[in-house]
Amino acid sequence: MKMSKFYLLLFLLPSLALILIFGIYPVVYNGFLSVKDVTLISYIRGTARDVGPLNYKAILDDPLFWRSLYNTIIFTLLSIVLQMVVGFLLALLFNYEFPLKGFLQALVMIPWVMPIMVSGSFFRWFLSDNGFLNNFLASLNWIQEPVRWISSERLVIYSLTAVNIWLGIPFNFILLYTGMQQIPEELYEGADIDGASGWQKVLHITLPMLRPVIIATFVLGCILTFKVFDLVWIITKGGPGGASHLLSTFSYSLAFDRFQFGKSAAVLILMQIIVVLFVGFSSRIRLEER
Amino acid sequence: MGRKSLFWILVLSLLLAMGSTVFAATSLVFQSYSNPTEQVAQFIQNVLIPELQKKNPDVEVKYVYVPFAEYMSTILQQAISNTLPDLVCLDNPWVPQLIEAGVFQNIKDNVMKDLGKDFWMDFFSGHRLLTSKGEDIYALQVHTNNLAIFYREGFLQKAGVGEPPKTWDELLDVSKKIKENLNLYGLMLYAGADEAGTWQFEPFLWSNGGSLLELDQPEAIEALELVTKMVKEGYTPRDVISLKDQGDETIWFMNGQVAMMINGNWEFGWHLLPEELQKLGDVKVAPFPVPEANMRSAVLPFGGECVGITTGDSEKAKYAWELIRIWFADKLDEYYAKWTGHIPTLASYAAKIANTRPEFKVFIEQAAYALPRPPMGGMAKYPDVSSELALALQRSLTETQTPEVAFQEAAKNIKNMFTPEEYEETKAYVRQILTEVLGRAKGQ
């Protein structure tokens, strides 16, 4: 039975409305804000002037924007690569049967279960100059001076990345692990008969069979990591001296510390362009593969 | 029970639930970031609102709590979508922006009629400057606070120091002795990447004659050099840049990890409650250290909350004003004596409270030299200016930049926020205020 177009549209309407109201409208509205001189006062009074590309120019001239962009790229790339590698190795491990497996699997999930507010506050203390990590290293006599994990402008982004990797491992692990369970057992049995070693099985069976899952995990992970905000805001608020700003925290501080909503919107638009380019690029790779 | 009776029960309960809003003559919303269990919120809910309802039994007032971190974004959202509450209590530096944005109603006539001109003039000048524009009055500051040195007398004695530091030189000297003799940090402060970081630096800046609009001048750089030196020498932990808030300082202080801290009088109503003070046994307060020994007081920013009316509905505004009137005309004595860790904004009350609450003496004396923050940094541009300062402060404390370079860069960015004429005008205005207060502080 062929349904009439009217009914098709009717059923699509709720999701279309949702996308329009919560997806498209904010982006378009943000676009309007980004070309206006919107401050707290002009926002409320509705008197913001059009300034054309001036907000974008100001942002591109601001060294903090470039620092944030650099940080965002480092943070995203390192997080994704290391989370996936560790998540994959853990998934391999848990693909075997061993005692206490269920308990240990639950332990692996802990970072994911904890609210970011809790883990973030914990790491702010853990990584501070007088925090647990430095005291621990000092008690082993490994360091004389505290390592400035989050109080050095050079080190801070790497420390935050490490925390994010820890937080993201369960996400990667669970997706890859579920993917691995879908791989037919017969393939491994056949390989065993052919005398393949463990690594050969991983390289020639697990990885190729897992490819779609790996790509999906990668794309999802990139988008989720690219927009991380809470973790950095709780631990450093983008400090010291703006050295750990990601694009997200930079945009937030422009809006709510400085009340520069126009400039903040411009940063968000630039972020959206990057995400769109990235998703377009990655789906192109997937298409080519098919 | 049959379906029919269930239906009627539902209808009835729905009507009852609606009744409170439909049948009450007026219902007001009072919004604040004071947690419902805190003193100020308790006062509003248990003293002010019942008092209003005594004479106006059909007026409902709902106390709504919005956390500090979300407060301004909430107000903004409410203002744009026309869903503002009827009364708002909020941090004073935000007030000039919101007056400018037209969020507050003009309450000049009410103030003059019900409280009188003398009452208005009894507010310290900084509070009047902040809550009014020209002849009009848009809010009233309910209490204030400022910063001083909290110290543990026992630690100072053990370190061989008789007196808390009065000057910058003594601050370095005392901190050095504490570090050498007790292996403790001398001074805790707050230098987070936000307004509170700026707020704690401003007493150093202003007392030395530095201005937010002239950060590249020697007076400002010297102030930054002092704080940087405190961290570099290990007198102040570098962790000051990553504290959650100023309350975190007090945790260090109570744990005995530091002998002195810069903090505000609100701590007496927050962490340093009487039982805690009794447990520690030796907490004292000393005035904020000054650059020159002959100064009477440091020049500091003032903090504290203001209350204003945000409803355009004249009926609601009438009761909203009545609530404010009760606060200021009938309950102010009780409020300051019992309900707050803050100090009065009115000169005559300050004098009274200084006698009944000795822990506030230092803060009350300093209040005469306290300045409102927004006018000192270009009014509406203040949040932007303040952010630049907080960035520079962190860069200097982490030795990313020297104090000189950090402030030169900040000064350049701040200058770019203004047109050249605006900048010169604001700079001169700020300089004039500073000169006046510094003159008084130096006894000239």
Task: Average the pLDDT over A193-221 and give the result.
Answer: 89
pLDDT band at B6 (very low <50, low <70, confident <90, very high): low
Q: What span, in angstroms and rounded, lies between the C-alpha atoms of B438 and A261?
A: 36
Cross-chain residue pair B242–A128, CB shorter than 8 Å: yes
Average of per-residue pLDDT across B82-110: 94
Chosen from A232, A256, A264 to mutate, greatest number of chain B CBs within 10 A: A256
Of A41, A236, A241, the CB nearest to B391: A241
Helices (H), ranges, B149-258:
153-158, 168-182, 195-207, 218-232, 246-254
Each residue's pLDDT tens digit, B161-192? 989 999 999 999 999 999 999 999 999 999 99
**Closest C-alpha among B210, B183, B186, B187 to residue B198:** B210
For A234, nearest residue in chain B (alpha carbons): B244
* % of chain B exceeding 90 in pLDDT: 82
Bond from prior residue into A240 cis (ω within 30 degrees of 0): yes
Q: Which residue of A has its CA nearest to B193?
A: A239
Q: What percentage of chain A reaches a pLDDT higher than 90?
A: 62
What type of residue sits at position A269?
A: I
Cβ of B395 and A253 within 8 Å? no
Chain B residues within 8 A of A131 when measuring between CB atoms: 239
pLDDT for A136 beyond 70: yes
Quote the pLDDT of residue B208.
97
On whether the CB atoms of residues A108 and A174 are closer than 8 A, the answer is no
Does residue A193 sit at the B interface (CB-CB below 8 Å)?
A: no
Q: What is the ipTM of this complex?
A: 0.88
* Nearest CB partner across the interface for A240, out of B237, B383, B394: B394
Chain-chain contact of B239 with A130 (C-beta, under 8 angstroms) = yes
Confidence (pLDDT) at B2: 58
The pLDDT-based confidence of A3 (bands split at 50, 70, 90) is: low
- How many CB atoms lie under 10 A from the CB of residue A12? 11
Rounded mean pLDDT of A141-154?
Answer: 93
Question: What pLDDT digit, counting tens, does each position of B214-230 carry?
Answer: 999 999 999 999 999 99
Strand-pair partners of A168: none
3-state SS, residue B206:
helix
Q: Are strands B87-91 and B305-309 parallel, antiparallel or unpaired?
A: antiparallel
CA–CA distance, A164 with A208 (Å, rounded to integer): 27
- The pLDDT tens digits for B350-393 are 988 888 888 899 999 999 899 999 999 998 899 999 999 999 99
Chain B nearest CA to A153, separation (Å):
7
Domains of chain B: 24-144+302-370 (3.40.190.10), 148-299+375-441 (3.40.190.10)
Q: How confident is the model at residue B79 (pLDDT cuts 50, 70, 90)?
A: very high
The answer on pLDDT for A182 being more than 80 is: yes
CA B113-B116-B121 angle, 5° bins: 140
CB contact under 8 A, B401 and A241: yes
CB B148 within 8 A of CB B288: yes
Say which of B102, B194, B195 has its CB closest to residue A44.
B102
pLDDT digits (tens, 9 = 90+) for A229-271: 999 999 999 989 999 999 999 999 999 899 999 999 999 999 9
Q: What's the pLDDT at A96?
A: 82
Give me the pLDDT at residue A279, please: 83
Measured distance CA(B182)–CA(B258) in Å, rounded? 10
Q: Which chain A residues are within 8 Å of B100, Cβ to Cβ?
A: 41
Q: Does A238 touch chain B (CB under 8 A)?
A: yes
For residue range A19-36, list pLDDT tens digits in order.
Answer: 999 989 999 999 999 999
The residues spanned by each domain of chain A are 62-259
Closest to A38 measured CA to CA, from A256, A272, A274: A256
Q: pLDDT (tens digit, 9 = 90+) per residue, A23-81? A: 899 999 999 999 999 988 888 988 889 998 999 999 999 999 999 999 999 999 999 99
B374 close to A (CB below 8 A): no
According to DSSP, residue B145 is labeled B
pLDDT for position A157 = 96
pLDDT at B178: 96
Quote the CA–CA distance of B350 and B360 in Å, as a whole number: 9
B residues 64-83 closer than 8 Å to A (CB): 72-73, 76, 79-80
Q: What per-residue confidence (pLDDT) applies to B23?
A: 52
Whether A175 and A216 have beta carbons less than 8 Å apart is answered as: yes
Q: How far is A152 from chain B (nearest CA, A)?
A: 6
Give the pLDDT confidence score for residue B288 in this predicted structure: 97
DSSP string, chain A: -PPPHHHHHHHHHHHHHHIIIIIIHHHHHHHHHHTB--BHHHHHHT-PPB-TTHHHHHHHH-HHHHHHHHHHHHHHHHHHHHHHHHHHHHHHHHTS--TTHHHHHHHHTHHHHS-HHHHHHHHHHHTSTTSHHHHHHHHTTS-SS---TTTSTTTHHHHHHHHHHHHHHHHHHHHHHHHHHTS-HHHHHHHHHTT--HHHHIIIIIHHHHHHHHHHHHHHHHHHHHT--HHHHHHTTT-STTTT--HHHHHHHHHHTS-BHHHHHHHHHHHHHHHHHHHHHHHHHHHHH-
H or E element at residue B436: helix B420-441
B342 with B269: CB under 8 angstroms? yes
Sheet holding B185-188, edge to edge: B185-188, B258-264, B147-152, B283-286
How distant is the Cα of A47 from the closest Cα of chain B, in angstroms?
Answer: 10
**CATH second-level architecture of A62-259?**
Orthogonal Bundle (1.10)
